[in-house]
Structure 1
Amino acid sequence: MGLDLFVFGDTDDVNHNVRLQHPIGLDCFDGVLYVADTYNHKIKRVLPATRGSFTMSGTGEPGLRDGAGNQALFSKPSGVSIANGKMYIADTNNHLIRLAGMETAEVSTLELTGI
């Protein structure tokens, strides 16, 4: 994936053609790695068997919007955790926890009311 500290970007591909920028958090579900590609404002899927990387959610532009796949916007997501069929995303610069469906990639914002 990366070759050294100064080879970065935002490229979905395989092997050494893949480019991430400041990936911080990751989790594994059903043999697939899910990575918070922080400076690209995306959540990526990495398939270890093929060494391929593909965008699950986000566009590369920072923002705040719920929706499926490239309709969703994040601002420097920095962590992911998967439980009960949902991915919990630390959307750092939006100061929110976001949810993504593992099957649909539909992103929503976790409501923290009445706690």
Structure 2
Amino acid sequence: SPDGGALFVTDYENHMIRRVEVATGAVTTIAGSGTWGSADGVGDAAEFHGPRSIAISRDGGALFVADQGHGKIRRVEVATGTDWRGDHAVTTLAGSGEGLARWPRSRAAARMATLMAWATRRSL
């Protein structure tokens, strides 16, 4: 997280996104049902299939996840209470899960999703 209090990780084998509190080591699941699937939803109503890479938005309000098993890029809202979709809402940004490159964005996919993130001003 931007304040350094939490670490967000993908749990590839269990198809979940987890939050680790740095100070205590406490782990909570913020998204994913524990079984593989591709549904968008909130919290454990969302499904992933081997989430692999993760990045956080500059303001800390969203995570971007490469859902590798489905070839999708997913957005996970971090608990802030400010997003209309709800805390921990998962939405698909790109990828159809078909494994082929396509356009428009709602149909775009890669055989194996990869997420690249970068920062300006040497802040990584």
State whether TM-score is above 0.5.
yes
User: Which amino acid counterpart does residue 74 of structure 1 have in structure 2?
Assistant: F
Match of 1:82 in 2: 56
User: Which amino acid counterpart does residue 92 of structure 1 have in structure 2?
Assistant: Q
CA distance in structure 1 between the partners assigned to 2:34 and 2:10 by the alignment = 12
Does residue 101 (structure 1) correspond to residue 77 (structure 2)? The answer is yes
Do the aligned partners of residues 71 and 29 (structure 1) sit closer, same or farther apart at CA in structure 2, a change above 3 Å counting?
A: farther
Q: Percent identity?
A: 35
User: Which amino acid counterpart does residue 89 of structure 2 have in structure 1?
Assistant: E
User: Which amino acid counterpart does residue 105 of structure 1 have in structure 2?
Assistant: H
- TM-score relative to the length of structure 2: 0.66
Unaligned runs of 5+ in 1: 1-27
User: Which amino acid counterpart does residue 43 of structure 2 have in structure 1?
Assistant: G
For the pair shown, the structure with the greater C-alpha radius of gyration is 2
Match of 2:26 in 1: 52
1:60-106 superposed Cα distances (whole Å, 9 cap, x missing partner): 10000001100000000001101142110000001000001112110
Match of 2:44 in 1: 70
> What RMSD over aligned residues (CA atoms) do the two structures have, in Å?
1.7
More displaced stretch, 33-42 vs 76-85: 76-85
Question: SS in structure 2 opposite 1:40?
Answer: coil
Contact 2:30 2:88 in 1 (8 A): yes
